[in-house]
Amino acid sequence: MACSFHDTLHYSSPANGGRGIVRTGMLVPESVELFVCPFACGRHGAISAVKQNLKQRLSYLYVNQADIVNGYDDLIIPAVGELLETLQKKPKVVLIFVSCLDDLIGTDHEALQEKLEETYPGIAFRSCHMNPISKGSKTPPGISIQNNTFSLLNKREDRDENINSLGNLIPVDEASELYPFLETLGCANLRHITHYETFEGYQDMAKSRANLVITPVARQAAEQMKKKHGMSYCFVPVSYRIEQIEQDYEHMYEELRKPGTNPGKMDFTIYKEDALKKIEEAKSVIKDMPIIVDASATKCPFGLARALVEYGFHVVRVQAPEVIGIDKGNFEWLCENHPEIEVVESLHHKSVLRENQIPDSIAIGVDGAYLAGSKYVMDLFDDEGMFGYHGVSCIMEKLAHAMDAEVELEKMIHEYGLVV
């Protein structure tokens, strides 16, 4: 196992990318997005939005070189007016997105937002950034869009016992033990942004007493909500390791129970036993088949690989663009205990050659499947829907069925509609 990553030219495989900030921003009910940028910057987001049937909420103000030199702040206000006249239904929120170059020209976004809200009363505006140039900073686009999304919740006094789930684009699967667990803590409703069709309804999320953050991109947003709403939060990234899940529930019990209360602890036995049973079933089906774990499937590919190795699966490769902070411990554990596992840097320039193909393998994640030429893919993207023991049971079921049919990978990637 090569225990270092290199700063090279980046290869962009056809399976590279994510759901994108356009789609994340669209989670805000009754919102539209206006991108203010050179036309080129908007192409991938727009085409992807067409594929996801979201384009009707996405518009562009194309700026040219002269506009950039002169500053385009003043152009945005009339453009918003023109956009509002065109739209059949008046939005409640307009997200104004700028691109990388805006970081270098000093647009005064606070003043712009004030002017917009003054000019178009009854509409909330946010300046958002589609600026991958800020990757590596504290606020790259995936994080700033979460901050903007949840900054739209207005402070309110009427609070209840419920909890919000932040950061995950798709709610945790409703069959997860997470829900009965939260009920034991008095939370009957784990609120998620997708539950709301109106902006007014979305404001219910400001009633919750706490936030549960299961993906790192929403940690800053949770911090900001703590300051603004006095809402505590608990960060529990998705894990597929039974031992870690046990600790996570202990941690959640301490952090999410109402202060001063001491509710009875939930018995997770049936969930844990189901997960363990499904692990054995999956092993009996796929046996020694080589497994590739890739970062398109999960935020912590080294964590998932570690879990699989601990369960006795034959992991041969982990593929990732980098090691993120919360996965570092797992990476180091694998380096120390399983140096035979290959690490493929998906962005490394040599990845273009797609050397060392492993056709007879199961790839967990499409990017891993593409570089390895895997015949079989376990369809998991960004941990969507996964959490806790039920998450383990789900991926084991998927793994057990991964070899039912060879994958049509190009079609699968196309259907994902990924955006770099």
Between CA 166 and CA 270 the distance in angstroms is 27
Residue labelled with tokens 């033990």 = 177
Residue labelled with tokens 């998906």 = 346
Of residues 2 and 105, the one with the C-beta less far from other proteins: 105
Q: Hey, CA dihedral for 269, 258, 235, 146, is it positive or negative?
A: positive
Q: Is there binding between residue 17 and other proteins (CB under 8 A)?
A: yes
Question: From the list 22, 26, 28, 79, which residue makes contact with other proteins (rule: CB under 8 A)?
Answer: 79
Give the number of other Cβ atoms within 10 Å of residue 112's Cβ: 20
Q: Are strands 163-166 and 232-235 parallel, antiparallel or unpaired?
A: unpaired
Residue 65 burial by Cβ neighbours in a 10 Å radius (0-12, 13-18, 19+): exposed
Between CA 389 and CA 245 the distance in angstroms is 7
Q: Is there binding between residue 43 and other proteins (CB under 8 A)?
A: yes
Of residues 51 and 398, the one with the C-beta less far from other proteins: 51
Q: Is there binding between residue 180 and other proteins (CB under 8 A)?
A: no
Q: Is there binding between residue 115 and other proteins (CB under 8 A)?
A: no
Under rule CB under 8 A, how many of the chain's residues touch other proteins? 70
Q: Please report, as residue ranges, which positions from 349 to 368 form the binding site for other proteins (by CB under 8 A).
A: 349-350, 352-354
In whole angstroms, how close is the CB of 104 to other proteins at the nearest point? 5
Between CA 305 and CA 361 the distance in angstroms is 14
Total count of residues recorded for the chain = 420
In whole angstroms, how close is the CB of 98 to other proteins at the nearest point? 11
Between CA 410 and CA 357 the distance in angstroms is 17
Q: Hey, CA dihedral for 10, 13, 16, 20, is it positive or negative?
A: positive
The candidate with the shortest Cα–Cα distance to 400, out of 382, 365, 376, is 376
Q: Is there binding between residue 91 and other proteins (CB under 8 A)?
A: no
Q: Is there binding between residue 314 and other proteins (CB under 8 A)?
A: no
Between CA 20 and CA 112 the distance in angstroms is 25
Question: From the list 103, 183, 223, 246, which residue makes contact with other proteins (rule: CB under 8 A)?
Answer: 103
Q: Is there binding between residue 99 and other proteins (CB under 8 A)?
A: yes
Q: Is there binding between residue 200 and other proteins (CB under 8 A)?
A: no
Question: From the list 95, 116, 130, 334, which residue makes contact with other proteins (rule: CB under 8 A)?
Answer: 130
Between CA 357 and CA 191 the distance in angstroms is 43
Q: Is there binding between residue 138 and other proteins (CB under 8 A)?
A: no
In whole angstroms, how close is the CB of 60 to other proteins at the nearest point? 4
Question: From the list 8, 119, 194, 357, which residue makes contact with other proteins (rule: CB under 8 A)?
Answer: 8
CB 409 within 8 A of CB 295: no
Question: From the list 172, 292, 363, 413, which residue makes contact with other proteins (rule: CB under 8 A)?
Answer: 413
Question: 234-263 mask for other proteins (x: CB under 8 A)?
Answer: ------------------------------
CA 69 to chain centre: 35
Q: Is there binding between residue 84 and other proteins (CB under 8 A)?
A: no
Between CA 408 and CA 410 the distance in angstroms is 6
Q: Is there binding between residue 217 and other proteins (CB under 8 A)?
A: no
Between CA 132 and CA 111 the distance in angstroms is 24
Question: From the list 2, 82, 174, 188, which residue makes contact with other proteins (rule: CB under 8 A)?
Answer: 82
Question: From the list 2, 3, 39, 332, which residue makes contact with other proteins (rule: CB under 8 A)?
Answer: 39
In whole angstroms, how close is the CB of 16 to other proteins at the nearest point? 8
Between CA 260 and CA 242 the distance in angstroms is 29
DSSP 8-state symbol, 240: -
In whole angstroms, how close is the CB of 377 to other proteins at the nearest point? 15
Question: 49-78 mask for other proteins (x: CB under 8 A)?
Answer: xxx---xx--xxxxxxxxxx---x--x---
The candidate with the shortest Cα–Cα distance to 253, out of 190, 326, 183, 165, is 183
In whole angstroms, how close is the CB of 174 to other proteins at the nearest point? 32
Would you tell me which residues interact with other proteins (CB under 8 A)?
A: 7-14, 16-17, 36-44, 46-51, 55-56, 59-68, 72, 75, 79, 82-83, 86-87, 99-101, 103-105, 130-137, 347, 349-350, 352-354, 410, 413-414, 418-420
